[in-house]
């Protein structure tokens, strides 16, 4: 568990996109985003107060989150001075970079000397159990996609926010690096050992109040041959009561797999639901989330109407139109 609130480290980000982890925290957990730390030449801006380490610590920030990805995912020498000073001044550091904090011996040494923690959220910190399949209390919703990177995390975060805004009991359950940094907790599922994948999802979504919903961040796709095993473990470990289908309609092949076509929403519905019923016979597909970022307003509206009529399920782009109708659909089951 990463201590909040955060000071967001933007380093020398070459553009706004390079700081998308910081943007995710800013968008979804603004209460954690106390301020930003920018170095000379930083081209990203979260519209947060610029703070130095001492100011942020005085304002109660306890973790410096590396909110920026360098090309190559490395911890640059330029950053090191700030990171050492942060540890000395009482900050933990959290990072989702490929280049692990724990592999930088100088940082480990400084952290040990000052009793601080280095959080590498790419690496599991828990010995997960093997899944036991026992039915858990509370309800769970899982976003599944026709492909990778179609908006599954965004959909779950938007539904979580909408539910909490309505005063409903909900928890976003992170299964990837960005999600873990946003919420401060979760399972880095793609780094878990095969035998323990489904067990790690059970661990992430334990027994809860009967009217509480876990909004589980999806990973991969049952139709993406590189990562389908991870998706499968989410479906069986998560034992979802509800599935949301996620889709990006302008893509001409599966991400990273030229020659592989995206499945239809019907194929995703039937395949995912069939498998989900193994772990939870009551599971239902309740709605469709479409990422229409590459469509104009009219085109998007027409597409969503067509999908909604064809599938008989609410179809929305939560970024354009909010997640309200998806939450309505959840509340109805």
Site membership for a copy of itself, residue 103 (CB under 8 A): no
Q: Is 60 exposed, middle or buried (0-12, 13-18, 19+ CB in 10 A)?
A: exposed
Site membership for a copy of itself, residue 121 (CB under 8 A): no
| Residue 194 or 332 having the CB closest to a copy of itself | 194
Alpha carbon distance 79, 23 (integer Å):
19
Alpha carbon distance 32, 158 (integer Å):
17
Site membership for a copy of itself, residue 190 (CB under 8 A): yes
Site membership for a copy of itself, residue 282 (CB under 8 A): no
Among 48, 83, 174, 197, contact with a copy of itself (rule: CB under 8 A): 197
Among 3, 149, 208, 271, contact with a copy of itself (rule: CB under 8 A): 271
Q: Is 203 exposed, middle or buried (0-12, 13-18, 19+ CB in 10 A)?
A: middle
Site membership for a copy of itself, residue 237 (CB under 8 A): yes
Among 109, 229, 305, 333, contact with a copy of itself (rule: CB under 8 A): 229
DSSP per position, 69-105: --GGG---HHHHHHHHHHHHTT-EEEE--SS-GGG-H
Q: Are 292 and 249 in contact (CB under 8 A)?
A: yes
Site membership for a copy of itself, residue 275 (CB under 8 A): yes
Query: Which residues lie below 8 Å from residue 167, measured CB to CB, with a gap of 6+?
Result: none
Among 144, 192, 327, 329, contact with a copy of itself (rule: CB under 8 A): 192
Stretch that binds a copy of itself, among 7-15, 188-196, 206-214, 308-316 (CB under 8 A): 188-196
**Sign of the torsion formed by the C-alpha atoms of 87, 10, 255 and 174:** positive
From residue 122 to residue 161, the character string flagging contacts with a copy of itself as x (rule: CB under 8 A) and all else as - is: --------xxxxx---------------------------
Distances (CA, A) of 198 to 192, 195, 279: 10, 8, 11
Site membership for a copy of itself, residue 285 (CB under 8 A): no
List residues binding a copy of itself (CB under 8 A). Answer: 130-134, 189-195, 197-199, 222-223, 225-233, 235-237, 239, 256-257, 259-260, 263, 271, 274-275, 278-279
């Amino acid at each position: 568990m990463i201590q909040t609130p955060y000071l967001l480290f933007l380093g020398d980000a070459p553009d706004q996109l390079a700081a998308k982890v910081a943007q995710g925290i800013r968008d979804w957990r603004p209460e954690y985003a106390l301020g930003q730390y920018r170095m000379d030449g930083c081209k990203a801006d979260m519209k947060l107060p610029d703070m130095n380490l001492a100011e942020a610590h005085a304002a109660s920030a306890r973790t410096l989150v590396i909110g920026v990805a360098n090309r190559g995912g490395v911890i640059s020498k330029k950053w090191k001075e700030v990171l050492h000073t942060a540890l000395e001044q009482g900050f933990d550091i959290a990072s989702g970079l490929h280049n692990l904090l724990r592999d930088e011996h100088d940082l480990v040494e400084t952290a040990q000397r000052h009793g601080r923690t280095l959080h590498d959220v790419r690496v599991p910190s828990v010995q997960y159990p093997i899944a036991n399949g026992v039915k858990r209390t509370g309800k769970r919703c899982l976003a599944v996609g026709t492909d990778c990177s179609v908006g599954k995390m965004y959909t779950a975060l938007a539904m979580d926010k909408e539910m909490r805004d309505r005063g409903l009991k909900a928890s976003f359950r992170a299964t990837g690096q960005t999600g873990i940094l946003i919420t401060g907790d979760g399972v880095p599922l793609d780094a878990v050992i095969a035998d323990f994948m489904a067990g790690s999802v059970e661990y992430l979504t334990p027994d809860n109040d009967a009217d509480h919903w876990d909004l589980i961040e999806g990973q991969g796709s049952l139709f993406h041959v590189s990562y389908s095993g991870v998706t499968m473990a989410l479906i069986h470990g998560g034992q979802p009561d509800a599935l949301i289908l996620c889709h990006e309609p302008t893509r001409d092949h599966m991400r990273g797999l030229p020659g592989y076509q995206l499945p239809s929403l019907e194929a995703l519905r039937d395949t995912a639901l069939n498998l989900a019923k193994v772990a939870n016979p009551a599971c239902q597909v309740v709605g469709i989330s479409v990422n229409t970022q590459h469509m104009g307003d009219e085109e998007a509206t027409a597409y969503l109407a067509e999908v909604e009529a064809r599938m008989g399920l609410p179809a929305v782009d939560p970024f354009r139109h909010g997640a309200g109708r998806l939450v309505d659909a959840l509340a109805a089951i």
